[in-house]
Structure 1
Amino acid sequence: MTNREQPPLTGVFPVLPTPFHEDGTPDADGLRTLVRYLLSSGVDGMTYPGVASEVSTLTEDERSTLTAVVLDEVAGRVPVVVGVSSSDAAVTERLARAAVKNGAAALMVAAPPHLGSTAQQADYFKALAVAVPAVPLMLQNVPMPVGAGLEAQAVVDVLEAVPAIAYVKEETLPSGQRLTAIRAGAPSTLTGVFGGAGGRYITDELRRGACGTMPAIELAEVHVALFAAHRQGRLEEVRNIFSRMLPVLNIQSIFRWSLTKYVLLRRSLIGSSHQRMAGPRLDEIDQQDVDLFMDDMSDLLLSEAKTRACIFNQQKVSNGTA
């Protein structure tokens, strides 16, 4: 089966963070543990790297190496969407070719913020589609300064000009209304629209026909439970789960990488909360709040035994005993 013949991407595709050692170097073994955690959580797929991965702080070599680690650990068990955005088109193409070679299911590319017209955006994506024709593209519509923050009609115009774009990840607010407009005006070559923004608007996005969500990783199994309830039409349960997630999602909207890494460290899934990105860090009182909110969701989280298994299995591989 070629990547273009694969089933449509749908469901929960969390964005993996990049774990670092205390000295700031990437922790590849820690990344493998996080992949195992996602697989144990029952995700439909995963995404790497993205904004939640501190991608702007990674060198091209680090991105290529760490993406290969993710794809190797996944080993085809679920589809992986690989982020290849860069301010340099040549770098994007190199990252894209490497990702395709290693088994990426789709390539996520932010609409470049420096391209001012829809025609320029279309030409950019056309060139990438020619360079890597083997996999579908995902246009990530993220606000400035990371992306162009295209209006819905501009996204539709680019989709019409570039049939290789099969997916959109809509993160420009109000994302729900934009999602509706894109789906209503898009050509038949659009397979689906994903939500993002940490999963903070997931119930609105699902009501409007989103095919999936790409949240940060710290509540992966809870997102899986919510999406399962959505698929089965249990709408009251969807709202209930979402309401229980909101306190943590609200903190994540402010502290971003700091919140994600604090939760993962608290659950022993990473060995350090070191982050390269600038931004606010949780203080002791913030951490106490997060602890309480996570305890409130303990029945929705992966059991400690399953979490330990992700770590233990990775330690066996690291020690060469697998």
Structure 2
Amino acid sequence: MTKESEELTKDVDSLVRGVSPVLEVPFHDDGALDPDGFVTVVDRVLATGVGSVMFPGFASEFHKLTAGERDLLTGLLLERTRGRTDAAAIVSVPDHATRHAVAQAVSAAERGADAVNVLPPHFLGPSRDAVLTHVRSVLAAVDPLPVVVQYAPAQTGTALDAPTLHTLAAEHPNLRWVKVESAPPGRLIAALAQGERPLPALVGYAGLQLPDALRRGAIGVQPGCSFTELYVELWRRWERGDETGAVALHTRMTPYLSYWMQGVELIVAAEKEISVRRGWFGSPHCRAPGHTLDSEEIATIDRFCAEFAEMVPELLR
């Protein structure tokens, strides 16, 4: 299938709607990259029925990958999505330098990415004008490829608001979604859904505030990937009008998510431990500096696996 025919048949807007996991990156015990494990992650996550996945994100430990490693893994992902009409790949561009971000975004588009995610620059406190110039540069460079702007103030300190994002979307129609990771996310999601051109939002932050986000207009969630099935089941319940059932499942998940989301490195370590138990790859290693799970945190994962074993295959391997 040619890229041109894919563009005619792949409905990216529909594929991004719902659950769009951020892929984790396996390493061996010595810290070396595990590409075969990454391929397994891609295949197992897509097998859950999600319409899209994103790489690399905070859950991918993107800041611990070399340029060559990131390029290799991006290629492995795109090999598995490029010829499919039922799966979209969102390639993230977290590069701080505008020059590099533009180059990475253009490369992703040329290699067959279905959308680009841009994380606004944040190291050393760039000015608001500099941040907006960066985002505009990426949007313009890949037009008409769809773009997600990721708003993660807790991780980046970047401050964006609905009027600014609506202005960007008016200038650049390929700005199609905002990933909202503010705490709480609901008010921004609701504000984005208003106006002459509503801007759909995906909620991040492990979906910790997912029911509120959905009530306020979110069109999906971008969590980590090691227990994607739980988010898929929650989304299915919500879509068929079973809000009570969706909230009940989220309520069961909340004690675990609220603990793990005390730190990005903590939830990355927890999710990797879960993926190892599922047999996706062999080592839960996180590159240093990272979070080392203690005995009580391991026990919490034991409880999680026991509680959700009936919904997530292999949790009690």
User: What is the TM-score with the length of structure 1 in the denominator?
Assistant: 0.87
Equivalent residue for 1:146? 156
**Aligned-pair RMSD on alpha carbons?**
2.2
Report matched runs for 1:114-193 at 5 Å. 114-117=125-128, 119-146=129-156, 148-185=158-195, 187-188=196-197, 190=199, 192-193=200-201
| Structure 1 residues 97 and 147: alpha-carbon distance in aligned structure 2, compared to 1, 3 A threshold | farther
For 2:282, which of 247, 271, 278 is the aligned residue? 271
Work out the CA distance in 2 between the residues paired with 1:175 and 1:66: 30
CA contact (8 A) 2:90 2:115 kept: yes
More deviation, 153-162/10-19: 153-162
Give me the whole-angstrom Cα distance separating, in 2, the residues matched to 1:32 and 1:299: 25
In structure 2, the partner of 1:42 is 49
Deviation at 1:11, TM superposition (A): 0.8
Paired with 1:3 and 1:19, the residues of 2 have a C-alpha distance of 34
Name the structure 2 match of 1:313: none
CA 1:68/1:3 → structure 2, altered by over 3 Å: closer, same or farther?
A: farther
Identify the match of residue 61 of structure 1 among 68, 72, 97.
Answer: 68
Q: Residues 147, 10 of structure 1: CA spacing in aligned structure 2 closer, same or farther, 3 A cutoff?
A: farther
Match of 1:80 among 89, 106, 110: 89
Counterpart residue number, 1:214: 222
State how far apart, in whole Å, the 2-side matches of 1:61 and 1:34 are.
Answer: 19
CA contact (8 A) 1:222 1:301 kept: yes
TM-score by length of 2: 0.88
Aligned-residue offset at 1:31: 0.5
How far 1:3 moved relative to its partner?
7.8
Residues in 2 aligned to 1:247 and 1:145: alpha-carbon distance in whole angstroms:
22
Shift in Å, 1:283:
1.0
Q: Give the length in aligned residue pairs.
A: 303
For each residue in 1:115-149, what CA deviation from the matched residue of structure 2 results, as whole angstroms up to 9, or x when unmatched? 422x4444322322332224111110111553613
Tell me which of 116, 131, 135 is aligned to 1:107. Answer: 116
Gap regions ≥5 residues in structure 2: 1-5
Q: Residues 277 and 314 of structure 2 are in contact (CA less than 8 Å); yes or no, is this contact kept in structure 1?
A: no
Cα–Cα, structure 1 residues 134 and 5, in superposed 2: closer, same or farther, change >3 Å? farther
The yes-or-no answer on 1:28 pairing with 2:13 is: no
Residues 1:20 and 1:229: Cα distance change in structure 2 (over 3 Å): same
- Alpha-carbon deviation of 1:79? 0.6
| Preserved CA contact (<8 Å) 2:96 2:120 | no
Paired position in structure 1 for 2:211: 203
Matched residue, 1:318: none
DSSP 3-state at the match of 1:256 = helix
Structure 1: distance between partners of 2:132 and 2:300: 45
Structure 1 residue 4 displacement after superposition: 11
2:11 maps to which residue?
6
Deviation at 1:279?
Answer: 3.7
Is contact 1:64–1:95 with CA below 8 Å preserved after alignment? no
Counterpart check, 1:286 vs 2:293: no
- The one-letter code matched in structure 1 to 2:51 is D
Q: What is the DSSP-based 3-state SS (H/G/I as helix, E as strand, rest coil) of the residue aligned with 1:299?
A: coil
Give the structure 1 partner of residue 3 of structure 2. none
> Greater shift after overlay, 168-177 or 120-129?
120-129
Q: 1:145 to 1:232 in 2, by over 3 A?
A: closer
Between the aligned partners of 2:171 and 2:159, the Cα distance in structure 1 is 18
**Does 1 or 2 have the higher relative contact order (CA < 8 Å, sep 6+)?**
1
CA offsets per residue over residues 72-92 of structure 1, 9 Å max, x none? 133424011111121111221
Q: Would the aligned equivalents of 2:97 and 2:121 in 1 still touch at CA under 8 Å?
A: no
| Shift of residue 251, structure 1, vs aligned partner | 3.0
Displacement after TM superposition at 1:6 (Å) = 2.9
